[in-house]
Amino acid sequence: MPGNLEPLDLGIQIPYHFRCPISLELMSDPVTISTGQTYDRTSIESWIAMGNITCPVTRLTLSDFTLIPNHTLRRLIQEWCVANRSNGVERIPTPKQPADPISVRSLLSQASAISGNHVSIRSRAAAIRRLRGLARDSEKNRVLIAAHNAREILIRILFSDVDAGKESSSPSLSSELVSESLALLVLFHMTETECESIASDPVRVRFMIRLLFDSVIENRVNSAALIEMVLTGVKSPDLKLMISGSDSVFEGVLDLLKNPISSSRRALKIGIKSVFALCLVKQSRHLAVSAGAPAVLMDRLAADFDRCDTERGLATVELLCRLPEGCAAFSEHALTVAFLVKTILRVSERATEYAAGALLALCTAEERCREEAVTAGLVTQLLLLVQSECTERAKRKAQMLLKLLRDSWPENNLVNSDEFGRSEVGPF
């Protein structure tokens, strides 16, 4: 075997034994298998996951699938990277070791032990905190932890007090255990059965909503995340209404969007996901309007959201505009019409569709909105939209809007303009 391979794009020669025999790339997490050969962890894991039971180099059958970290080789690779920094080589980070089944079982056992005193509560919380650290490291760790019945254990721990009839107790009495179990639980995808076990229990629902007003901001954010997960996970409309039918749930979730203290990117993302999930329940939309969702949504949409969250926010706006009181609330906000007009063809096809739908509802309900929309340049945007490659639903909404504007202002010079006459709106 040669001591090194051909130069790569970096313009330098990488020593042969620093490269994975499978991927032929510089190893970042070298591990040794039972045959004594060393590979990059991701490469050999993929090899084994495909059903292979032999060593790729020696072709010998593997006596076991244990992967032993090769710390010596990894340090040599890191030193080589540092020595070649001037050539554009970046030092590989020290990899975090994956969770092993024995430690996961031990930590879960410790977490689910019966608390007899404050020390044991702290010990249980520490075990969950350690599991959370492992879960954050990688998807593989999350799969391993979930495979050991972690979600059911965490649900039982989170609601242990209220299940035992201590609903009147403040969450802060066992805040550390509640905080850690909640923070870990929302890192997993729950099954429909698990979601139903929460949504079908009024006591658990009340406790979950009460956490939206906890003094610890992380608990509030994680509670909103759990609410969104449960709403999305259950299929029964009645169970969805058990959660969304509470006045306070909208108040708590909206506070994540309007409170400067909670304006972290994660809080905003979870806040808008939760509001959207709640507003998907038709019977509860009036509660969102009463809680001030229109004003909060417009304030945030005009400033803070990325593309995906903007789409969710606009979808929520369109849902609430289906209510007369929703239209009235949005029309009273100074930014609504101008922002929606500006959004068309600017963010994404979905965003355009939702914005057009909201504008259609607003302009149908309020003559003032029609005047604002025309002033903001809506006609030009709609003409571009109907000739674009946007979705058919968006084009239909644009056509309906153009008809609405034409019927509302028969003498307006916009109606008689050459641009309007040449539009591909078609018959109405």
- Does residue 239 lie within any of the structural domains? no
- The two three-digit tokens of residue 83, written as one number: 């020595």
For residue 356, being part of any structural domain is answered with yes
Domain boundary among 189, 209, 243: 189
One domain, residues 21 and 41? yes
Contact in structure between 225 and 186 (CB atoms under 8 Å): yes
Question: Tokens 């009036």 correspond to what residue?
Answer: 286
Average pLDDT in the 170-186 region?
80
Dist CA 357 CA 335 (whole Å): 17
pLDDT the model gives residue 245 = 93
State the total domains in the chain: 3
How far apart (Å, rounded) are the C-alpha atoms in residues 428 and 425?
8
Q: Are residues 22 and 48 in the same domain?
A: yes
Q: Are residues 77 and 111 in the same domain?
A: no
pLDDT band (50, 70, 90) for residue 29? very high
Q: Which of 189, 211, 246 is the last residue of a domain?
A: 189
Neighbours of 152 (CB within 10 A): 16
In a domain, 340, yes or no: yes
pTM for this entry: 0.79
Share of the chain above pLDDT 90, in %: 60
Final residue of a domain: which of 189, 222, 257? Answer: 189
List the alpha helices (DSSP H) in 59-201. 71-83, 101-111, 118-137, 139-146, 150-158, 160-163, 175-185, 192-199
Q: Which residue's structure tokens are 């929309």?
A: 373
The structure tokens listed for 116 are: 């007899």
CATH number at residue 49: 3.30.40.10
Whole domain around residue 70: which residue ranges?
A: 16-87
Least confident of 18-27, 64-73, 361-370, 401-410: 401-410
Distance between CA atoms of 182 and 169, rounded to whole angstroms?
17
309 within some domain: no
DSSP-assigned letter for residue 53: -
